[in-house]
Structure 1
Amino acid sequence: MQHNLQLFLQNISASFAGQQLIKITLGNKREKSAELKNIFIKPVTIKNAPKLYFTYRNNTNDTFKNYDIKESLILIEKMLQTDFYNADLFTATNDFHLSADKSGTVKIITRPASLVIKEDAGQHDKQKNRVINSATALYLHELGITTAEGIVKKDMQDKFKQINRYVEIIEGIIKDIDFEKNITVADMGSGKGYLTFALYDYLTANLNLVAAVTGIEMREDLVKKCNTIAAAVNYKNLIFKKGTIQDAELKSIDMLIALHACDTATDDAIYK
């Protein structure tokens, strides 16, 4: 019923106004072949203005938009009428589950709150303190560092800090070098690819360079996984190759990365 949909929207508006809104999800797409799979929405503060941050999850990529509450309610209402059957609203006091069917019947189930508001929730501007933006770096989700909504997982906070610190160090080294828009990099012993992906992201997204980055890794399963992720996030010039540091064939490169805590790997890379 239209009444239940309006009630759901009123709950969104009230929880947003009272700073009790934690997140909203839209799912169970009406058209199974549709490219858009889900929408995840969370409150953020941008330049001291409260907004709702939309993550549109598509089959091949994610897109992101910020809207004020009025625009958001219009969009959510439209999506629940044309694109999705289900929606979940999580607030500090209650969870609300909305479900619709093909006949137009809409039901709402109210449950006790399952989530709590984090002290730093919604401070979207704080992302500027990090070189790598967790909300837009899709590879971070594929690597298991962030949730589908672009939030860094609790048990991956240290890894995310390490990635950003690593990129900051690289930034300090190359900031005064003119690469003339092109740079070729080899990462020797790239492992799971955390730092390799972050470096490619920084070079292309932050510095707008045409970067060709190659990760050399001896474990075939990691090479395959990293190449799959690179293809999924459309990093065309980021590739991973199976091989050892000693045997790797390196042509003309501008920078060689070697960051290891095991045996003589770093010494081998320097010698190479």
Structure 2
Amino acid sequence: MDAELNDALAELRDLLLDGERLVSASAGGRRKGQEAPEPTRIRPVTVKGRELLQLETADAAGRPIVRNVEATAVEELLARPYANWHVVTTDATVAVRITKKGKAFVHRTAEGGERVTSHDRVKSHLLAPDDPLFAAVGADAAKRRQVDRFLTLVDGKLGTDGAPLHVVDFGCGNAYLTFAAYKYLSGVRELDVTVTGVEIREEQRVHNNAVAEKLGYAAGMHFVADTAAEADLPGADIVLALHACDTATDEAIARGVRLKAAHIFAAPCCHHDIAEQLKGAEAPGPYGALVADGILRERFADTLTDALRALLLRSLGYEVEVSEFIASQHTPRNSMIWARPARTPAALRTAARVEYDTLVEQWGVRPKLAELLETA
């Protein structure tokens, strides 16, 4: 193991075991050639007088799993092939990034956090709740929760080679997630990042550019008034489509495919297109009850639309995951589709296409994404 990596892990060990200074920590990403470990958040807790570490991970649906462990668990955590560590103490913040060549880069600042060790659960945040950007974009507590979950999802998927990144957010609206992505990737992860926000409303473009200027982000962020299909873009490494309405999500995904983006993150909003098609389609077999009533048809359309999107991307060779974005009590539109190009075996691509063709034939629907990808 590289001496710099040994030194970085030793520093992390000391920080995680510092019972007086540790505030919180998070670990995510994976090193090249290694299986991705589950993203983990860590904070010290006191339970019945015992000093423990609280570990927070998530299940396959994105629901949090919390357990309290002895400090000896630190050795097992450090042995996992995480690519990124972020540790906050009472007087400092330390970020460690491990490259695909196994080199460790350590960044230290003198900004710490407030230590809370009561067993009452207090979540750590990848961006502090009092960060100025939240006030600038008018983000309330619910939006801050979405930001934290979104950044956790993104952080767990990105590589560590340090290459410049161009992030494009289609249908960015007031761009609170766009600003958060820029702040985290450029400020915390210290990546060379530029961000383009695409929003069809001209007044929103003007407003968002003004906010970027106010926050001091104008050098790395700019906003344009256009559609996902027509925006003039040189390329994209990461494509975002967060709460884009109906087929706007399909337009963003299709544009991400055309741009050969390394990552696509789409959190769909409404699914009117398929829901309307289901009204005039004859349900197959004994499944008429799924679409007979409006509320059931709407919910089924959500599931069917996202399942067909995932199958189409898999048929193109993409690795795809569909998970919970934010808990359903905060919004009923709570799924996140993540996709990246992969070396998928031909047999798996074919199987995905067969399953897709079967579903659209049985339900008599024509997804917008299929139309868009045919012209991509």
Query: Normalising by structure 2, what TM-score?
Result: 0.35
Higher relative contact order (CA 8 A, sep 6+): 1
More strand by share: 1
Query: Normalising by structure 1, what TM-score?
Result: 0.48
